[in-house]
Structure 1
Amino acid sequence: MKSCFIVFLLAFPAMIFAQRQPIDLLIGTYTNNGKSKGIYVYAFDPVTGTATLRSTQGAKNPSFLSISADRSYIYVANENGDGQGAASAYAYEGATGKLTFLNQQLTQGDAPCHVATDSRGTHVIISNYSGGSVSVFPIEKDGSLGTLKQRIQHTGSGPDKSRQQAPHVHSAFFTPDEKRVYVQDLGTDEIAIYDFQPTNADGPLVPAAQPFVKSAPGGGPRHVAQSADGGLVYLVQEMTAKVRVYRQKDGRLEGIQEVEINEEGFSGQNGAADIKLSLDGKFLYASNRGEAHTLAIYRVDPLDGRLTKVGNQSVLGRGPRNFTISPDNRYLLVANQNTDEVVVFARDTETGMLTDTGKRIEVPSPVCLVFVN
């Protein structure tokens, strides 16, 4: 026991030092307004909450980013229309923060808006919003994308004929054990569930025994957050600005709760966007754009995972499309798309509440934030 304690004491300064070192922050943007260049790489200082630009990579509408488990490659959804929706691969050099373009593949679906990568680095999954489909690409040994391996076209519609006239695939998330993939479809009010079989010759996504689970009618599924063990799934619904809680047991999802994102009395336009659990699993955050421009803050019940609202925080800008929590759990950064900046909040790890640090990252149309840790 004494020797273990000595080893800990020797390692502790190194742990503190590592936590204080700058961390790269990748920012994806929309470029179709002519203001942004593409992907921005910043060094984020966890001591001061400030960020310093390291590099910029030209790209067309890189609206969502994913980094490989070994931190060597970045995969991008290029949210283009008119048959030009694409997935791109870049090599990432941590020492310099530089991105090097490897290749690009068309997704065969318009407006790809989300990208996911498995930890073994075998496949990239792209969600095509306008196309209502999922595209799957193999990852080659050099990190580039192989030719399209699988494309799954969703069918169906929802009760809101102005927005749910057809499928609109919004995201695909691996379960923590990577045995399944949850695909959120805003147009059909469903989470489609696929088994992930990376060696399957016909394609790695296979309909699960429970092929889908419904959200609230007219809710508009967008993104999910999951507990570390995969036992709880939290769905943000864009159109109603509500979070729906599912319990996962034996590979099946069951809805157990639905809660409001908005403050009581809010009657404006909704546009709920992103959802994240704190790294300790104690708090959940969800953003609403539209006319609210707020983050909802919930406490997670440690026994059953149900949510209790503890507050709403103004994002101090407009259009909080995406946000992220720093690897040390001390900061929450919000990408305010319509006010061209990332707002840096300090997190109280005991209460979950947020405080404005006064720090800003000025970048045109930020829509995706990814820490490289």
Structure 2
Amino acid sequence: MSAENPTEPLVFVASYNKFENLAHTPDGTVSAHSLYVYRLDTQTGQLVLLTVLDGFENPAFLRYHPQLNVLYFCTESIADDGDIVACKVNARTGALSVLGKWSAHGKSTCYLTIDTDLKHMLAVNYWDSTLSVLPMETSGALSPVSFKLVPDRKVVASSRSDHLTNRQLEPHNHAIVLDPYNGTVAYVPDLGTDVIKQFVFDKGTGSLIHAGQFQSGSDELKPHGPRYLQFHPKLPVAYVVNELSSTVAVFSFNIEQAARIAEEPEKPTLTLLQTISTIPSAFPRHLNTCGRITVTNAGTFVVVSNRGHNSISTYRVNDDGTLCSADYFHTRGRTPRHFQFDSTGNWLLVANQDTDSVSVFSFDRKHGTLNFAGHTYDVPSPNFVCVQMPYHEAQ
């Protein structure tokens, strides 16, 4: 494979390069670089390292612009406000050119969302549980924070050890996801208070108004610790991965209620249908926490990573969006913090944070099974994988 082939996907891997200011305690190796950029061969699943990016502390979430070759990442620190960085991506070489960086106005920034009109970047700050909104320019550059939402309950943890002991006693937002129908309902899993918060998002002003909250799973196995939320691509169904209870909660989405959210803001737009385990029933739950969740492009499988059980769980999706029992596949490493499919759905790349590796698996889209492709790449403390086919650029 030619490394400079813009018709093949680019793979961006973020790594932790400073441990002492994180909210958690990685067991891998401190990285010498911030980001690693690879080219993926979609015929073989092999990666070729193209370049690295230095100079940024603990990039911890990546988001690619829906129309431009611009990569965004945020920095994670409990000691300082995070930054959101935008980089122009060279589709042929993979080189990154920094367009700018903007403060997220909160600590331990952990999640980025671009609204449906491509006018705002929404950011989540885990440590102090604040939500920030930054206007987006047509070039892909951002403007300073125009809206910030501070939680009603103050975060009081003063250190990492204090946080790890008491994090369920205070709010800790972990993600923000807009509904895929109107883009006006924002969902925020709050790992600390064990609920999904619901907000009205004004696409014109970029403001957020609180509109109630609801439990992130059934009463059993609490605390759940909701981490991420993902909508089904075809059904009015959403899936929440609960980090602490090692479960997936399945919700039906009320399209009509969501359209009336501004008039009836306190009515939940999601209703719980099912709570299902991500690990075998006999495996001790205290030895596992969940990482990422996604739905395959065809909507036939839901996929989750288990940190501790060190596995990927795959569920077949029923006609009503509920899930069948899981199959499990070892990730060839410890603590699979994140994973990503390529656009074909044939390849799954897993970031094994605590064994300093990225592993490549082939995915059987009919049966939902993973097979190790035989490719493992040395990447210190990887925490996020972004696989993106670059956009064609006129010469």
Q: Would you say same fold, with TM above 0.5?
A: yes
Q: Does the 8 Å CA contact 1:42/1:53 hold for their aligned counterparts?
A: yes
3-state SS of paired residue (1:134): strand
What are the residue-to-residue correspondences of 1:123-202 with 2, within 5 Å? 123-156=120-153, 162-177=166-181, 178-200=183-205
Residue 348 of structure 1: CA displacement? 0.9
Q: Which runs of 4+ in 1 moved over 4 A?
A: none
Q: 1:260 to 1:82 in 2, by over 3 A?
A: same
CA gap of 1:236–1:351, structure 2 versus 1, over 3 A, is same
Name the TM-score, length of structure 1 as normaliser.
0.88
The letter for the 2-side match of 1:101 is V
| Stretch moving more, 348-357 or 68-77 | 68-77
Distance 1:156 1:313, change over 3 A: farther
Alpha-carbon offset, residue 141 of structure 1: 3.9
Three-state SS of the structure 1 residue aligned to 2:287 is coil
Q: Quick one: structure 1 residues 87 and 230, their matched pair in 2 at CA, closer, same or farther if it must change by over 3 Å?
A: farther
For 2:201, the aligned partner's letter is F
1:38, 1:56 within 8 Å by CA — same for their partners in 2?
A: yes
Moved more, 136-145 or 106-115: 136-145
Amino acid at match of 1:37: H
Q: Does 1:329 align with 2:352?
A: no
Which residues of structure 1 form unaligned runs of 5+?
A: 1-18
- Pair 1:39–1:119, CA change in 2 (3 A): farther
Match of 1:304 among 315, 320, 325: 320
Query: Is 2:377 the partner of 1:361?
Result: yes
Report the TM-score, using the length of structure 2 for normalisation: 0.83
Q: CA deviation at 1:349?
A: 1.0
Aligned AA for 1:356? Answer: F
* SS of residue in 1 equivalent to 2:354: helix
Q: Aligned pair 1:271/2:294, yes or no?
A: no
5 Å-filtered alignment, 1:16-165, equals: 21-33=7-19, 34-58=30-54, 59-156=56-153, 162-165=166-169
Residue 213 of structure 1 pairs with residue 214 of structure 2: yes
Query: CA separation of 1:119/1:26 partners in 2, compared to 1, >3 Å: closer, same or farther?
Result: farther
The answer to whether the 8 Å contact 2:352/2:382 transfers is: yes
Note the residue ranges of structure 2 that are not aligned, 5 or more in a row: 20-29, 156-163, 259-268, 390-395
8 A Cα contact 2:6 2:92, kept in partner: no
Question: 1: CA distance between counterparts of 2:315 and 2:383?
Answer: 23
Shift in Å, 1:144: 2.1
> How far is the alpha carbon of 1:82 from its aligned partner?
1.5
Relative contact order higher in (CA < 8 Å, ≥ 6 apart):
2
CA pair 154-270 structure 1, distance change in 2 beyond 3 A: farther
The SS at the match of 1:169 is coil
Give CA deviations for 1:271-323 in whole Å, capped at 9, x if unaligned. 1111011111101111111x21111111100x211101241111110011111
Say which of 326, 330, 346 aligns to 1:314.
Answer: 330
Contact preservation (8 Å) 2:6, 2:91: no
Count of residues in Structure 1 that have an aligned counterpart in Structure 2: 348
- Are the equivalent residues in 2 in contact too, given 1:129–1:168 (CA < 8 A)? yes
Q: Is the 8 A contact 1:36 1:365 kept in 2?
A: no
> Residue 278 of structure 2 contacts residue 326 of structure 2 at CA under 8 Å; is this kept in 1?
no
Alpha-carbon RMSD: 2.1
The 1:161/1:30 distance shift into structure 2, 3 A limit, reads closer
Q: Deviations over 1:115-141 (max 9, x none)?
A: 111243211111111111111111134
Identity of matched residues, %: 28
CA distance in 2, matches of 1:161, 1:214: 22
**Structure 1 residue corresponding to 2:244, chosen from 239, 244, 267:** 239
Q: What is the one-letter code of the residue matched to 2:145?
A: L
Higher strand share: 1
Give the distance between the partners of 1:174 and 1:364, measured in 2 at CA.
Answer: 32
Measure how far apart 1:108 and its partner are.
Answer: 2.1
